[in-house]
């Protein structure tokens, strides 16, 4: 079945679509009430976030837009130290969208939500003219335990910088798919709840965490460096990148430091907790390639440096525009 403008009318077709696709996949008591807004219990500090997903293609090796829209929002909540609980989702469907695809996406959302321990408690669907595209917005609510206080401005001299796994997988998978290149690169799209819990429960002194998405690690660390006014140094050989992704990047002149991921986080921890943090990450699902990749060198200068294998030091700026060559 294809989506038609009638599915966005708010009438019978809409209800049918919701029942057939969304209720079926997301069913839970709160959603089942089908009220104008979801009323949920909670008395702690609340974290709220939202994100829109417009990825092409909708299905890619290692994931799909459904898994992505859950992970993206859940991970954003996790990075503030919150325990993600509730999600809302808004669908913008273009005329001609395929309901079978929508089914698959909804099923994937449900599965990922279950894995991440969140409930989808409210939703909305609109149909617009177009060519069968599917766009999803998700908003998330999480609770922040008392005593949890993380900020990108908390990085201090000596702190260790860690990454939870290989860089660039998602970006390379999406590009491969778009270029219709056959390889075995899979998106890393994953919820990071398990490893965040592990870190916090082990009592690791976490200064800040950030999921490494668009703009890549280079951009995230620049944000840390300027917020904390500190100089972060990365060791190039320590950056985990799979051989496949490395080869892919080399041919196309891409830098894994600026490539997007959807299931990786970088975390800055107190120096004495570096090894403990590494163990927490490594023992978690999706964390087997975690590594300590650098440290905060000094205070007083917001910049990120990369120490290269031959002993040189490169300045890593935030991403400024894809692929614009500088070499004359």
Partner 1 sequence: MTVFITVFGIVQGVGYRPFVAAQAKELGVKGWVRNCGGIVQITASGDPETVEGFVRRLHEKRPEGAQVERVTVKPQPEEPFDEFRIDLSGKCKGHTGEAPVIPPDLPMCESCKKELQNPKDRRYRYPFISCASCGPRYSIMNTLPYDRGTTTMQDFAMCPSCEKEYQAGRRCHAQTISCHDCGPQLILRDQGMVWEKEEAFAKAADLIRNGGVLAVKGVGGYQFVCTPDKEDAVERLRLLKGREKKPFAVMFPSVEAIRAHCSVSDEEETLLKSVARPIVLLRITEKLFCPQVSGESRFLGAFLPCTGLHQLLTDTLGPLVVTSGNFTSEPILYRDEELLKVDSPFLSGVLYHTRRILSPLDDSVARVFEGTPQVIRRSRGYVPLPLLFARRAGKPVLAMGGDLKSSFCLLKGDRAYVSQYFGDMENYQVSRNYRNGLKHMERLLRIEPLSVACDMHPGYHTTAFGEDLALRITAAGPLKFQHHHAHAASVMAEHHLDGCIGVVFDGTGYGTDGTVWGGEFLLCSGADFERRAHLRSVPLCGGDAVAKNAVLAADCYRCAAGEALGSPRFEMVQAAIKHRINTQDSSSMGRLFDAVSALLGIREENSYEGECAIALENAAAAAKDAGKAPLFLEFPILEKENGEMVVDQVSLISQLLETVRADGDKDRIALGFHEALSDAVLAVCRKIRAKSGEKRVALSGGVFANLILLHQCYHKLIENGFCVFLNNAVPSNDGGVCLGQAWLAAVTQQEGSE
Report yes or no: 79 and 265 within 8 Å, Cβ to Cβ.
yes
Backbone angle region of 311, left / alpha / beta, with phi > 0 → left and psi within -120 to 50 → alpha:
left
51 binds Mg ion (CB under 5 A): yes
Question: What beta strand segments (E) does 106-190 contain?
Answer: 119-128, 134-144, 160-163
Closer to Fe ion by CB, 182 or 326: give it: 326
> Does residue 301 bind partner 1 (CB under 8 A)?
no
Interacting span for partner 1 (CB under 8 A) from 5-13, 106-114, 172-180, 280-288 = 172-180
User: What is the helix (H) or strand (E) element at residue 267, kind and residue range?
Assistant: strand 265-269
Find the binding residues for Mg ion in span 104-133 (CB under 5 A).
Answer: none
Q: Find the binder of partner 1 among 178, 229, 272, 275 (CB under 8 A).
A: 178
Q: How many residues bind Fe ion (CB under 5 A)?
A: 1
180 binds partner 1 (CB under 8 A): yes
Q: Work out the number of other CB atoms within 10 angstroms of the CB of residue 248.
A: 24
Give the integer Cα–Cα distance in Å for 310 and 318. Answer: 23
- 324 versus 328: smaller Cβ distance to Fe ion: 328
Residues 6+ apart with CB under 8 A from 312: none
Q: Which does 253 bind (CB under 5 to 8 A by kind): partner 1, Mg ion, Fe ion, none?
A: partner 1
Instruction: Please state the closest distance from residue 317 (CB atom) to partner 1, in A.
Output: 7
Based on the shown chain and the rule CB under 5 A, indicate whether residue 327 belongs to the binding site for Fe ion: no
- Considering beta carbons, is residue 76 or 95 the nearer one to Mg ion? 76
Q: Total residues at the site for Mg ion (CB under 5 A)?
A: 3
Q: Which lies closer to Fe ion via its Cβ, residue 309 or residue 325?
A: 325
**Crossing angle for the helix pair 99-116 and 65-79, nearest 10 degrees?**
30
* Residue 5 binding partner 1, by CB under 8 A: no
Q: Counting contacts by CB under 5 A, is residue 328 touching Fe ion?
A: yes
Q: Taking the complex as a whole, how short is the minimal distance between the CB of residue 240 and Mg ion, in angstroms?
A: 22
Measure the CA–CA gap between 127 and 257, rounded to whole angstroms. Answer: 37
Q: Which stretch binds partner 1 (CB under 8 A): 11-19, 103-111, 191-199, 250-258?
A: 250-258
Binding to partner 1 by CB under 8 A, coded x per residue (else -) over 110-149, reads ----------------------------------------
Contact (Cβ atoms closer than 8 angstroms) between residue 164 and residue 285: no
Print burial letters for 275-287: b (CB count within 10 Å at least 16), e (below 16).
Answer: ebbbbbbbebebb
Write b or e for each residue in 307-320: b if 16 or more Cβ atoms lie within 10 A of its Cβ, otherwise e. beeeeeeeebebbe
Q: What are the distances in angstroms from CA 287 to CA 31, 53, 192, 266, 272?
A: 33, 24, 9, 11, 20
- The correct pick among 74, 97, 190, 254 for binding partner 1 (CB under 8 A) is 254
Cα distances (angstroms) measured from residue 190 to each of 16, 29, 116, 292, 319: 31, 26, 9, 20, 24
Q: Which stretch binds Fe ion (CB under 5 A): 142-150, 181-189, 190-198, 320-328?
A: 320-328
For Fe ion, the binding residues (CB under 5 A) are 328
For partner 1, the binding residues (CB under 8 A) are 175, 178-181, 250-255, 305, 308, 310-315, 317, 320-328
């Amino acid at each position: 079945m294809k989506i038609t403008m009638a599915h966005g009318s708010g009438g019978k077709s809409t209800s049918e679509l919701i029942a057939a696709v969304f209720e079926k996949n997301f069913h839970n008591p709160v959603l089942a009430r089908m009220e104008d807004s979801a009323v949920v219990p909670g008395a702690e500090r609340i974290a709220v976030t939202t994100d829109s997903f417009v990825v092409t293609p909708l299905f890619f090796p290692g994931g799909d837009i459904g898994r992505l829209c859950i992970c993206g929002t859940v991970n954003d909540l996790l990075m503030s130290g919150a325990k993600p609980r509730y999600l809302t989702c808004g669908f913008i469907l273009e005329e001609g969208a395929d309901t079978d695809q929508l089914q698959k996406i909804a099923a994937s959302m449900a599965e990922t939500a279950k894995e991440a321990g969140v409930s989808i408690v409210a939703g909305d669907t609109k149909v617009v003219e177009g060519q069968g595209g599917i766009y999803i917005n998700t908003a998330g609510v999480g609770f922040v335990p008392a005593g949890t206080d993380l900020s990108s401005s908390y990085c201090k001299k000596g702190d260790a910088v860690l990454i939870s796994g290989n860089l660039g997988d998602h970006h390379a998978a999406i590009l491969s798919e778009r270029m219709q290149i056959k390889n075995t690169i899979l998106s890393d799209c994953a919820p990071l709840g398990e490893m965040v819990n592990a870190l916090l429960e082990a009592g690791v002194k976490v200064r800040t965490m950030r999921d490494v998405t668009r703009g890549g690690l280079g951009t995230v660390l620049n944000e840390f460096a300027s917020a904390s006014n500190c100089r972060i140094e990365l060791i190039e050989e320590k950056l985990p990148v799979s051989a496949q992704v490395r080869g892919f990047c080399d041919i196309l002149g891409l830098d894994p430091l600026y490539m997007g991921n959807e299931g990786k986080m970088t975390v800055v921890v107190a120096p004495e907790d570096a090894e403990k943090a590494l163990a927490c990450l490594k023992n978690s699902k999706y964390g087997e390639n975690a590594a300590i990749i650098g440290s905060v060198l000094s205070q007083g200068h917001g910049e990120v440096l990369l120490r290269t294998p031959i002993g040189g030091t490169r300045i890593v700026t935030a991403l400024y525009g894809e692929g614009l060559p500088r070499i004359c």
